[in-house]
Structure 1
Amino acid sequence: MLGIAVGLVMLAGCSAAGPDPEPEASSSTSSQQQVSDSFAEKFPDSQVLADCLNEKGWDVTLNEATGGVGFEGTTEQVDQYEIDQAECAPEDDSIPLEDFTSEQWTALYEMELETTECLRAEGIAIEGAPSEQVFIDRYTSADPWMSYAFVGDVGSDRWDELNRLCPQPAM
């Protein structure tokens, strides 16, 4: 499955028009490189996207917990950012849901159950999970059953923490 999670575009009317192409020289460079290396291992497609956007002059931010790639900029920058983002996105080699084998559906269901137990251990109230067949039937509908639907309104720090502790299932 494609591991890209693109963050929301945050707009600020007074942001600078372009990113600073010069990397900052500081003693934290090796620390930043370690963070970047771990991010690249966990979210390789997101790292490819971020690297390409940086090469195009965007100063993107990476969310270590979710793999999100985003930027802050002006409303005037959104159209160009979206064009560059589309050009930079790695090819989607994920398997369409309609082509899933029964083994893949079972694996996804089991991952969802593991995530459910993890979220419960973190204090999230999740009602009983559906049977595997009901999960499969609902997954392709407008109302799929997913454990993260029970998380509710939490702050971004808690959301990131939950995603780090209890990764969302992905195939």
Structure 2
Amino acid sequence: MTSKKLSLIALFTALSVAGATIKVPAIIGSIALDVFPALVIAILIGGSAGAIVACFGHLISALFGGMPLGPLHIMIALEMAILVWLFSKLYKNRNKVLAGFIFIIGNALIAPLPFMFLIDKPFYVSIVPSLLIGSSINAVITFLLAPHLQVIYVNAKQQEAER
């Protein structure tokens, strides 16, 4: 991994930390706008970079929320990493709408499924609406920002190549 990619991962992780401070009202205080930087970097430089940012972004967001689910946040961080990686693959294969849809459904309905069994069904039912709203907001921000940032990123790469 080049130092430029590592710097971008660090920058987008910092943006994820900033997004982690913007919370969506929920039963648990860890639903935030921490994932859109991961989705954007996944579009710009790849799914593995996005997965790293998603993982760290979620863990930091959970820390800000007081880690209400404790060590289960590690499982959630891994789920976020997988969802962002999958989003990247679908987005880059020109399936942008499908990528957004899969991310939203995956994050709001599928990722919290283990909690139906680990905690209880009322917990799952109560957390889904907040996750749906948070996932949708993160996806919309991504779809609004990514095209503009892609142009900037591609132009910067071209200027670098010309040097």
Higher RCO structure, 1 or 2 (CA under 8 Å, sep 6+) = 1
TM-score (norm. length: structure 2) = 0.25
Structure having the larger proportion of residues in strand: 1
Greater C-alpha radius of gyration: 1
